[in-house]
């Protein structure tokens, strides 16, 4: 598959993309199992309980996104710097180590599940920290792999040409890797533990990852529609400033109810409210470049050609999804006056589904198509029936799940919190509500739609090289 790629680094990138796609499928599968257990509580009881299915579902999401991010860097780095990635052989070894470690961790999650209530569980089975539940030995392995990855990136950037995209990536990846360390030490004070834990979760998702997406969006626009690099990188710096400016102190919206001082209410409310602003900037950025390039082509009497239609389609969905999922759905419940009622309901789940999909999955799937295009030596990658079905069904499924979860969350907010005052009786009254259960049923149905879309996506990615529709 990778014989048409010029650089070994890009071949390594496609390896990461392949594992990412497999983990994406695992995420969806375990999500369907967990969704089924909401509707049929006895499903796989004491074989694969909800707590385990949910853990694998969420951790598979985080890990496949990280695989796709690392693959994206290895793919774009030689094109941006003009040289082969330094230490690519070590990069391949680190890929094998990481993949073996991930495989062992998943097997332990599924087949061993729990351990004795002592230090051995933290080291060998799970640390129990939501979203980053890898055991301590895997934690250390991840740090080693990421340090090797960072060394490859920095040595390559120092030796080769350093574009604006590469410069931002260098700073962002250093912050991304450093923040992971905040989740590696243990404290028996739950408030303090949560305080540092959010440094990983929030400052990854709502700061460093968003900057990373902006870099990929810039690269993707240059490659797919021929956007002007100077304009793209100007927008990139503006977005970086806004993302870090709002995202860092926006962490305050996670400090409302964990025992931190009350001044976090004001800080979290203000800067969380500002977080959609840079997302609007990204939205305008993509549409501006698209319209500008199309206008230039029309002025010359020619038709503007998109070199990779499926990838560009996913980039466009990213701009809408990022703004709506991370921006609007996040703002819905970010103010403390509202969050008092929505915290711990299905509101965060609704926001999380659309935000992770809209902000990250979409643009990384676009990078899958960039990798497939390069690997098969395709000059112009066109949309196929399978690619259209994939983007339509996956998007429809995720939006459907988000709406269903929002309906269930509204029931919880009004019944459990407002009517019953957050009591146990209120919790069960909300869970037994017809509207709540209808939301859970629709969430499951839309999850099936998403999985069907994923099957179309895999089919299209695997058959791209044999499709005569594409221009080679």
pLDDT number for residue 445: 98
CA gap 168, 255 in Å, rounded: 29
Which pTM value belongs to this model? 0.94
The CA-atom distances, in angstroms, between 422 and each of 195, 351, 416, 417 are 24, 21, 5, 4
pLDDT number for residue 282: 67
DSSP letter assigned to residue 343:
T
Estimate the crossing angle of helix 385-411 against helix 309-321, to 10 degrees.
10
pLDDT number for residue 1: 43
Helix H or strand E encompassing 144:
helix 136-159
CA gap 70, 142 in Å, rounded: 12
* Cβ-Cβ contacts under 8 Å for 440 (sequence gap 6 or more): 35, 38, 39, 404, 408
Per-residue pLDDT of the chain (472 residues), as tens digits, is: 446 899 999 999 999 999 999 999 999 999 999 999 999 999 999 899 999 999 999 999 999 999 999 999 999 999 999 999 999 999 999 999 999 999 999 999 999 988 888 888 989 998 888 888 889 999 999 999 999 999 999 999 999 999 999 999 999 999 999 998 888 877 788 888 888 888 998 888 888 998 899 899 889 988 998 888 888 888 788 878 887 778 888 888 899 988 889 899 888 888 887 777 776 776 677 777 778 777 877 888 877 788 999 999 999 999 889 889 988 898 898 889 999 999 999 999 999 999 999 999 999 999 999 999 999 999 999 999 999 999 999 999 999 999 999 999 999 999 999 999 889 999 999 999 999 999 999 999 999 999 999 999 999 999 988 877 776 6
Query: Can you tell me whether residue 471 is helix, strand or coil?
Result: strand
Q: What is the Cβ-side half-sphere exposure of residue 431, based on CA atoms within 13 angstroms?
A: 11
- C-beta of residue 272 within 8 angstroms of C-beta of residue 335: yes
pLDDT number for residue 50: 94
Estimate the crossing angle of helix 50-81 against helix 8-39, to 10 degrees.
160
- C-beta of residue 281 within 8 angstroms of C-beta of residue 242: yes
pLDDT number for residue 296: 79
Category of 422 on φ-ψ map: left (φ > 0), alpha (ψ -120 to 50) or beta: left
pLDDT number for residue 2: 43
């Amino acid at each position: 598959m990778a014989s048409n790629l010029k650089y070994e680094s890009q071949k390594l990138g496609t390896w990461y993309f392949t594992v990412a796609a497999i983990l994406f499928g695992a995420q969806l599968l375990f999500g369907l199992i967990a969704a089924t257990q909401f509707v049929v509580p006895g499903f796989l009881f004491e074989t694969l309980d909800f707590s385990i299915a949910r853990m694998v579902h969420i951790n598979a999401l985080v890990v496949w996104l990280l695989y796709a991010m690392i693959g994206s860097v290895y793919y774009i780095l030689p094109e941006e710097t003009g040289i082969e990635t330094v230490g690519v052989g070590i990069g391949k070894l680190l890929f094998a180590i990481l993949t073996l470690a991930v495989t062992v961790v998943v097997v332990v999650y599924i087949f061993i599940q729990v351990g004795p209530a002592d230090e051995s569980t933290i080291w060998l089975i799970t640390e129990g920290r939501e979203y980053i539940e890898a055991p301590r030995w895997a934690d250390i392995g991840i740090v080693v792999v990421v340090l090797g990855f960072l060394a490859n990136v920095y040595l390559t950037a120092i030796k080769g040409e350093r574009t604006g995209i590469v410069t931002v990536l260098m700073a962002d990846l250093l912050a991304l890797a450093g923040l992971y360390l905040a989740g590696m030490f243990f404290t028996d004070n739950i408030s303090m533990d949560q305080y540092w834990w959010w440094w990983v979760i929030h400052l990854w998702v709502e700061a460093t990852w968003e900057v990373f997406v902006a870099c990929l969006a810039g690269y993707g626009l240059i490659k797919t529609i021929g956007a002007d690099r100077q304009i793209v990188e100007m927008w990139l710096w503006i977005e970086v400033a806004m993302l870090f400016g709002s995202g860092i102190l926006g962490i305050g919206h996670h400090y409302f109810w964990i025992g931190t001082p009350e001044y976090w209410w004001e800080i979290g409310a203000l800067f969380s409210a500002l977080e959609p602003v840079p997302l609007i900037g990204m939205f305008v950025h993509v549409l501006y470049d698209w319209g500008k390039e199309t206008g230039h082509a029309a002025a010359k009497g020619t038709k503007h050609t998109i070199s990779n239609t499926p990838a560009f389609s996913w980039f466009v969905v990213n701009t809408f999804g990022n703004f709506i999922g991370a921006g609007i759905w996040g703002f819905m419940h970010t103010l403390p006056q509202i969050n008092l009622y929505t915290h711990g309901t299905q509101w965060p789940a609704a926001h999380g589904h659309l935000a992770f999909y809209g902000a990250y999955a979409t643009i990384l799937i676009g990078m899958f198509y960039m990798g497939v295009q390069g690997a098969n030596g395709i000059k112009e990658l066109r949309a196929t029936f399978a690619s259209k079905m994939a983007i339509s069904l996956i998007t429809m499924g995720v939006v459907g799940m988000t709406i269903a979860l929002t309906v269930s969350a509204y029931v919880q907010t009004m019944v459990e919190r407002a009517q019953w005052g957050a009591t146990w009786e209120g919790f069960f009254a909300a869970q037994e509500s017809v509207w709540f259960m209808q939301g859970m049923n629709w969430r499951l149905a839309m999850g099936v739609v998403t999985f069907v879309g994923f099957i179309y996506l895999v089919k299209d990615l695997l058959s791209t090289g044999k499709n005569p529709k594409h221009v080679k």
